Chain A
Amino acid sequence: MTDRHLLSGPEPDPARDAGHPDPPERVGFFTDTSVCIGCKACEVACKEWNAIPEDGMPLSGMSYDNTQGLGASTWRHVAFIEQKVPAPEGRTELSLIEGAPAAPEPPQAPGDMRWLMSSDVCKHCTHAACLDVCPTGSLFRTEFGTVVVQEDICNGCGYCVPACPYGVIEQRPHDGRAFKCTMCYDRLGAGQEPACAKACPTQSIQFGPLDELRERATLRVDQLHEQGVERAHLYGHDPQDGVGGDGAFFLLLDQPEVYGLPPDPVVTTRDLPAMWRHAGTAALSLAGSIALAFALAGRTKEAR
């Protein structure tokens, strides 16, 4: 095991390397946004099952999205993107029946609208910055390869919040402790799938062993490409990417940033060895320059 304890790069078995001697298969989410209908059943199911407090009732003016983003009290978030479509290119025609060709292009005026809907969630990164930087050990890697916060140990330092390259984890106001998706750790332990996947009526949210999901996702992308949806692509599936691949990955129909996702996130602890080296050198140079100051001052005194 030469690749143990890597801070970045491919990591085939994060659960075993986190100290679980005989872990089950790594599980994850594949969120296929091409079949999301924006019903928010996932948001509601997540709130219900995990007993997450309400967010108030703000009206954001952002299409049908009033939760606005992931946070301490929103562990699944459905984004609504309203786009003006310059017909015909760029338009997404989806066939939900397998094998059927896309519907013939209906006459369409430039300026028509389309909606992209996407259910976002914690990515359960292979190299999770939140977990790496947590000073209390409150964030841990589960036997399923997911990342969970232990509420009773979290001391509210908030370090995980800016460490997350996806902007997932957040502190709850008036409490200070950090919360995020647990991939329903309690349900997984009982052999059940997470509440959001269970509630999703279109199988936009698929749960299962990560390897199997990656295969399924590749097939789905091929299918969409055959149907002429050229912009369909996977996001977060690649174990070679900056976070070692995500435990929750997505099929997107536009650029990641359109959905509020970073285009090429990197776990910042990748650079931690360099940072510690620079900090060490900086500390030595502090001591050195003060020593130099004493030497210079001493000499000028003698010269007088």
Chain B
Amino acid sequence: MSRTRQRRGEQLMVPRAEFESYYGRPIIHAPSWAARDIAGYFFLGGLAGAGSVLAAGAQLTGRPRTATAMKVSSLAAVSLSAAALIHDLGRPGRFANMLRVFKPTSPMSMGSWLLSAYGPAAGAAALSAVTGRMPRAGATATVGAALLGPALASYTAVLAADTAVPAWHGAHRELPYLFTASATAAASGMALIVAPTRESGPARCAAVLAAAAESVVTEAAERRLGLVAETWREGRAGTLMRTARALTLAGAATAALAGGRSRPAALVGGLALLAGSVCTRFGVFAAGIASAEDPKYTVLPQRNGV
């Protein structure tokens, strides 16, 4: 065993990885989830959930066009997310099994119940806003969706973290905040795109808050992960995470500086925020797969008593 520590170049967070493994095979099984379905589901759930809060806020503060647009966007996002989930299960009939039991130890069970309460609320809110019918029921549904939406955006972090996947479980304290910040960025991006500039003030503020929070939380998660943070920084996941950060910060900056005056700037900023949120979810997903496939990330943290 060599005891020499490399001092040049990047700072080593832990001593060089030395361990034996069984023919280099992974210790845990990586999830067989398709990135498009599940990372897509994380993104769409966040977009829908945070969008419902923006919609309710817009309705309460007299920004009717933003409210309607965000309700429609949330309904679209939640419908697509349910489709992604069902696509991953393989057969539509299998979704019914999700509601066989109510099980707080299973984030997926809780999420299924949440989705089956949030979905109809978001649908009713959007339908009432678009048709103008049953405004009282529509208002109730808007409030309901706004109350359930944040939970929809944050529970997916628990869904990922409650696994033996080192890059997810190791960041289980930070992941919910990262997901809600990313969801807020996505929803404010959507609001910048669909709402008139006159009404987009709150979305611009929210975008800045979300981008700042996302940067801070990503930093904190990587610090906590130690050696496993490599999976967040390297390879496909690293590229996605760096792209996500650049897009989110650029999107928020564009929106804040020019989004109030220029419609094209609002559009560009909004698109960048949405794309940044997509990259964050796919980046975290890819990091998880990478950390599950290399036994190093399972063995060394356990050996080091982390």
Contact = CB atoms under 8 A, between A and B. Distances in A.
- Specify whether A and B are partners: yes
Interface of A: 7, 60, 62, 65, 68-69, 71, 79, 81, 129, 132-138, 153-159, 161-171, 176, 254-255, 257-265, 268-269, 271-272, 274-276, 278-287, 289-294, 296-298, 300-301
Contacts of B292: 162
A260 B164 contact: no
Contacts of A289: 184, 206, 209-210, 213
Nearest to B178: A282
B71 interface: no
A272 B108 CA distance: 13
Contact of A283 (B91, B154, B188, B210): B154
Contacts of A164: 28-29, 164
B22 A262 contact: no
Nearest to B296: A257
Given A268-B164, A281-B176, A263 B299 contact: yes
A284 B105 contact: no
Q: Which of B30, B108, B162, B176 has the most A CB atoms < 10 Å from its CB?
A: B162
B33 to A, nearest CB: 6
Contacts of A263: 299, 302-303
Interface in B206-220: 206, 209-210, 213
Q: Which one of B21, B95, B302 has the highest number of Cβ atoms from chain A below 10 Å of its Cβ?
A: B302
Given A255-B20, A269-B162, A162 B28 contact: yes
A157 B108 contact: yes
A124 B302 CA distance: 20
Contacts of B97: 135-136, 138, 153-155
A260 B157 contact: no
B203 A293 contact: yes
5 contacts: A158-B33, A274-B173, A276-B158, A278-B157, A297-B205
B238 interface: no
Contacts of B203: 293
A176 B94 CA distance: 11
Interface residues of B, number: 82
Contacts of A69: 25
Contact of A158 (B31, B61, B106): B31
B195 to A, nearest CB: 12
Given A155-B89, A162-B28, A283-B153, 17 more contacts: A135-B109, A136-B109, A155-B98, A161-B29, A254-B20, A260-B21, A260-B25, A260-B27, A262-B27, A262-B299, A274-B173, A276-B104, A279-B176, A280-B151, A282-B177, A293-B57, A300-B201
Contacts of A285: 177, 180, 213
B120 interface: no
Interface in B123-162: 146, 150-151, 153-155, 157-159, 161-162
Contacts of A282: 150, 153-154, 157, 176-177, 179-180
Given A136-B97, A164-B164, A271 B169 contact: yes
B173 A278 contact: yes
B184 A163 contact: no
Contacts of A168: 29
B29 A170 contact: yes
B305 A264 contact: yes
B60 to A, nearest CB: 8
Contacts of A158: 31-33, 88
Contacts of A62: 23
Contacts of B103: 134-135, 137
B298 interface: yes
Interface in B9-58: 19-23, 25-33, 49-50, 53-54, 57
A159 B161 CA distance: 11
B158 A167 contact: no
Contacts of B202: 290, 293-294, 296-298
Contacts of B245: none
A65 B288 CA distance: 28
